[in-house]
A and B are shown apart, each in its own frame.
Chain A
Amino acid sequence: MDLIISKIPQLLEGAVVTMQLTVVAVVFGMILGLFLALGRLSKNAVVDKICWFYIWIFRGTPLLMQIFFFYYALPLALGKTFSFGAMTAAFIALSLNSGAYLAEIIRAAIQSIDKGQMEASKALGMSYGQAMRRIIVPQSYRRLIPPVGNEVIALLKDSALVSSIGMSELMRTTTQISNATASAVIYLPSAALYLIMTSLFTFVFERLEKKYSVYE
């Protein structure tokens, strides 16, 4: 017990890194995912194909491999300009990866909006962009929230994979403590911290869902 208490600050530091990784990956992933989704819905076949290819690659290969690619392989292939620190490589890999998953979630949500909404917007003289921005995308928010919530929680846990490139997020911090103290008991408070973080996101997404449900 004393051991656990004395290690709490160290675990919290790791948890902060885990949170940073998750939040950055979700924010960039959402922006990237939105544009990928719009690209997939575009009438331009080339744009559609490029976005399809991107999603195919990032959903079709293991996240761990992508992390290794950005950390180890890129500088070997392209020179030291591309030698990112572990944090940057982790941000890039997690953002690009979550972007691919979120793109498909966003695309499905947009496509689930009744096509009468687009027709009504066009009949009122709105451009495709205006209709998307003002009418279609805002309606997709509510449908986005449950699957995006899932993705965020999955991402938070997947961020443990970046411990493999030496980032001391919660998982590696736990391993470091466990190795130094020759005791596995530290995994208990660590698991509790993961639970607290995922619960926090669950709570936020439940609130958001309620907020966007007012008109239904």
Chain B
Amino acid sequence: MGRMISVEKVYKSFGTLEVLKDINLEVQQGEVLCIIGPSGSGKSTLLRCLNHLEVITSGKIMIEDDLLAEKLDGKNQFKIAHKKISEICTELGMVFQRFNLFPHMTVLQNIIEAPVSVKKLSKAEAVAYAMELLKMVGLEDKKDEYPARLSGGQQQRVAIARALAMKPKIMLFDEPTSALDPELVGEVLEVMKKLARGGMTMVVVTHEMGFAKEVGSRVIFMDKGEISEEGTPEAIFSNPKNERTRAFLQKVL
């Protein structure tokens, strides 16, 4: 069991607004870490810092043994090349709340785009693997459709396949079911469970407490930019120690 992500004393501000305060966190290989908390608590920002979509103000983030960012009061402690950062980020797959599929490409083109243009795979190789992934998410028959012709649940499953096509070691999910109609949530969670069972390291920001309870190996409760409670799903959901965790869970459960 290796350490996949390590976050040390991370702070993040947007102007004068401090959204992350003193975040310390480790994620081990094969772990499914669920981050819960009220909106505006900084959980999405934390996730986005992990693959450099947001740049931290201060602190240190390591992905496996590679340094992604180390800053002190907004200044870089080490000059890290753009290329190195891109390389590190391909180890992390990201699934967005609003899918962000490329609307001008078919399902298959969406999936093979990055493997071909970034990883320089041959088109045949990329297509073969894409078809495997589409089979896994149950959408082989939709490979030539444009995203606009798919339901939200189908789009999100394509988005998961697209992220997996880069063979990432870690998958990040940013509220993957929040934009879906209730009857479509299940099919996406099914795919995520399948991934978790396959041993994928996952960090999931979610409002689906059922999923966190069932699949999560660890749960973090964030509030006002801080990690206010951390523990196993059983401990958090059945016996929360923190007053604010309890209040939040009462509202959502």
Residue positions of A touching B, CB distance < 8 A: 114, 116-117, 119-120, 122-127, 130, 134-135, 138-139, 214-216
Contacts and interface: CB of A to CB of B under 8 A. Distances in A.
Interface residues of B, number: 30
B166 interface: yes
Contact of A216 (B94, B100, B148): B148
A138 B53 CA distance: 22
B143 to A, nearest CB: 15
B7 interface: no
A116 B118 contact: no
A125 B166 contact: yes
Of A122, A125, A139, most buried by chain B (CB within 10 Å of CB) is: A125
Contacts of A135: 102, 113
B162 to A, nearest CB: 7
A215 B104 contact: yes
Contacts of B87: 125
Classify the interface of chain A: helix, strand, loop or mixed.
Answer: helix
B163 interface: yes
Contact of A130 (B117, B148, B162, B163): B117
14 contacts: A120-B96, A122-B53, A122-B89, A123-B96, A125-B90, A125-B118, A126-B118, A134-B113, A135-B102, A215-B104, A215-B105, A215-B146, A216-B103, A216-B148
B86 A123 contact: no
A64 B28 CA distance: 69
B86 to A, nearest CB: 5
A130 B83 CA distance: 13
Contact of A123 (B53, B104, B119, B147): B53
Contacts of B94: 120, 123
B100 A120 contact: yes
A114 B104 CA distance: 13
Q: Top 9 nearest A-B pairs by Cβ distance?
A: A124-B114, A120-B100, A125-B90, A123-B94, A215-B146, A116-B100, A125-B118, A139-B104, A215-B104
A14 B218 CA distance: 77
A130 B118 contact: yes
B96 A116 contact: yes
Nearest to B51: A123
Contacts of B53: 119, 122-123
Nearest to B86: A125
A123 B174 CA distance: 12
B217 to A, nearest CB: 24
A117 B110 CA distance: 12
Given A114-B98, A119-B53, A125-B119, 20 more contacts: A114-B100, A117-B102, A120-B94, A120-B100, A120-B102, A123-B94, A124-B113, A124-B114, A125-B89, A125-B118, A126-B118, A130-B117, A130-B118, A135-B113, A138-B104, A139-B102, A214-B146, A215-B147, A215-B148, A216-B103
A191 to B, nearest CB: 40
B103 A124 contact: no
Interface in B155-192: 162-163, 166
A25 to B, nearest CB: 28
Nearest to A128: B82
Given A123-B89, A125-B166, A139 B103 contact: yes
Nearest to A133: B117
Contact of B163 (A124, A127, A138): A124
B118 A119 contact: no
Given A119-B53, A125-B89, A125-B166, A134 B100 contact: no
A116 B155 CA distance: 15
A125 B121 CA distance: 14
Contacts of B114: 124-126
Nearest to A125: B90
A124 B118 contact: yes
B166 A124 contact: yes
A119 B90 contact: no
Nearest to A140: B104
Given A122-B89, A214-B146, A116 B113 contact: no
